[in-house]
Structure 1
Amino acid sequence: MKFALHFGNNTFPDFAGAARLARLAEAAGFDSVLAVDHVVFPDNYSSTYPYSATGRLPVGRGGAFPDPLIWIAYAAAVTTRLRFLTGVVILPQRDPLVLAKQVATLDYMSGGRFELGIGVGWLKEEFQAMGVPFERRGRRADEYVAAMKALWAGDGATFSGEFVTFKEVSCNPKPIGRVPVVVGGHSEAAARRAGRLGDGFFPSIGSQVDTFPLFDVARRAAADAGRDPAAIEMIAGCPDLLPSSTVEPRAAIEERRRRGVDRIVLPIGPFMPNLEESLARFGDTVIRPYAEL
């Protein structure tokens, strides 16, 4: 089992905090740290935030929310083994050629330690502020992934789609190996997208619905697409492993493993304020003893 920490960039938005978190996570044996994405927050919005019972974002207008790619670049520079995942970048809002360049550069300079987590977004007012159509954002995201993979695959790339078209262009440096694409989202559409084109599926750790049935949706979609369902990494939360829990760690991890989880993601907040002590203890009592499960 692999373990990850979520909400790195908005919990530790400055350079000192980012370095502190990344080094502590690596020392404790965590596999990865996730960084979240929003370009702007509208002061007024009617869209429902799907990962909170209130339907509202937990941050206000003045909260620091660094760009996840830039934040990850800094955190990667002070570590050697820790991996990083956008959880998630709102793909339809990004120019796919620019993003392909940023992702490849980040992966190249980090020694192949980057994973691209993608989502289609939920905050319609943010799309409107950016001048990006909210409608058909799922189809746009699918095409953006295909276009980026074409650029990463080789020089002189050509792509012709509904939203993206280019002919005989090259984008370098290339990623080291293959950048895993992890699809986020709590809907069946997201699960099917993960099955069709993803290397992983992350239904989130705060959704107000039971996300485990979506794993089966993703696996069926993979089989229908002629892909190996077992090759898709399933990622989920596990509240029973948080510091306040009294559940025995082995039982909690084995339960997640039985449900098909390959990587457990935990929010950073419950490890605060004694981050050094809490993460070191988690590494000693959970990660190292049970990593083989």
Structure 2
Amino acid sequence: MKFALHFANNTFPDPQGAQRLARLAEDAGFDSIFAVEHVVWPTDYGSTYPYAPTGRLPGNPATRMPDPLIWMAYVAGVTTRLRLMTAVVILPLHNPLVLAKTVATLDYMSGGRIELGIGVGWLKEEFAALGVPFEKRGARADEYVAAMRTLWARDDASFDGAFVSFSGMSCNPKPVRGHVPIVIGGHSEAAARRAGRLGDGFFPSIGSQVDIMPLLDVVRRSAEAAGRDPASVELITGCPGALPQSGVDPRAAVEERIARGIGRVALPISAFMPDLEDSLPRFGETVIRQFAG
């Protein structure tokens, strides 16, 4: 079992806080930390945020939310083992060739420690501000994944799709392992099917208001239907019973997740606040090291 910390860049948006968090997490034995994305935050919006009962984004438009890839680049420079993942980048909002170059460069410079968590987005007003159609964003995301993987896999690459097309293009440096793992985020059946069909992992948000466990079976069935080994799709979920304030045995909660086939649990950083210097090492000693290897 691996352990991750979620909401890193909006909890610690400043360089000193980011460095503090990353080094403590790495020393405690956490596998990874996750950074979130919104390019812009509308003052007024009618879209419903699907990960909170209020339907509203936590915080306000003045909330500092650094670009996740730039934030991760900074953190990569002050750590040596910690893996870094976007959870999630809103893929349809990005030019896939530019994103492929940025992510591959970051993976190359960090020694292969990058994972690209992607989502299709929910904030219609953000899409409108960036001039990207909200409709068909799922199909656009699928095609962008294929286009990026094509550029990472070979030089003199070509791709011909409905949303992106290129011929005889090379994009270097390549990712350290020849590809960057792509983790599909979302709490819908469409996201679960996408993860089984083409993802290296599946991460239904830990704040979703639905029972995510049935979605894990959707991932497995979708993988089998696509001729893939379901075990090749890493399952990442929250684990409320492992939180310091849960009042239950965290090891039993983690064992339950392992029994369900989950390979990594993501915990909100807020659960370890404010004294990270005490809470993260203690969690590492009492929980992470019990499941090491």
Partner of 2:79: 79
Distance 2:221 2:271 in 1: 35
Partner AA of 1:141 in structure 2: A
Q: Root-mean-square deviation (CA), in Å?
A: 0.7
2:184 counterpart of 1:183: yes
1:243 is displaced (CA, Å) by 1.1
Partner of 2:286: 285
Partner of 2:224: 223
Moved over 3 A (4+): none
Partner of 2:29: 29
Taking structure 2 as the reference length, the TM-score comes to 0.99
| 8 Å Cα contact 2:34/2:86 also seen in 1 | yes
Partner AA of 2:199 in structure 1: G
Distance 1:36 1:245 in 2: 25
Q: Secondary structure at the match of 2:236?
A: strand
Q: Secondary structure at the match of 1:88?
A: strand
2:23 counterpart of 1:10: no
Taking structure 1 as the reference length, the TM-score comes to 0.99
Q: Secondary structure at the match of 1:216?
A: helix
Kindly report which structure 2 residues correspond to 1:1-293, keeping only aligned pairs within 5 A, or say none. Answer: 1-177=1-177, 178-292=179-293
Distance 2:247 2:63 in 1: 33
Distance 1:138 1:245 in 2: 36
Partner AA of 1:115 in structure 2: E
1:27 is displaced (CA, Å) by 0.2
Query: What CA deviation, in whole Å up to 9, does each residue of 1:33-55 have, x standing for no partner?
Result: 00000000001111110100111
Distance 1:7 1:250 in 2: 23
1:290 is displaced (CA, Å) by 2.5
Distance 2:171 2:278 in 1: 43
| 8 Å Cα contact 2:120/2:138 also seen in 1 | yes
Distance 2:236 2:184 in 1: 10
Partner AA of 2:246 in structure 1: S
Distance 1:3 1:287 in 2: 7
Distance 2:289 2:3 in 1: 11
Distance 2:290 2:255 in 1: 13
Instruction: Name the count of aligned residue pairs.
Output: 292
| 8 Å Cα contact 2:242/2:251 also seen in 1 | no
Query: What CA deviation, in whole Å up to 9, does each residue of 1:82-116 have, x standing for no partner?
Result: 00010000000000000000000000000000000
Distance 2:85 2:78 in 1: 16
Distance 1:52 1:189 in 2: 20
User: Unmatched 5+ residue regions in structure 1?
Assistant: none
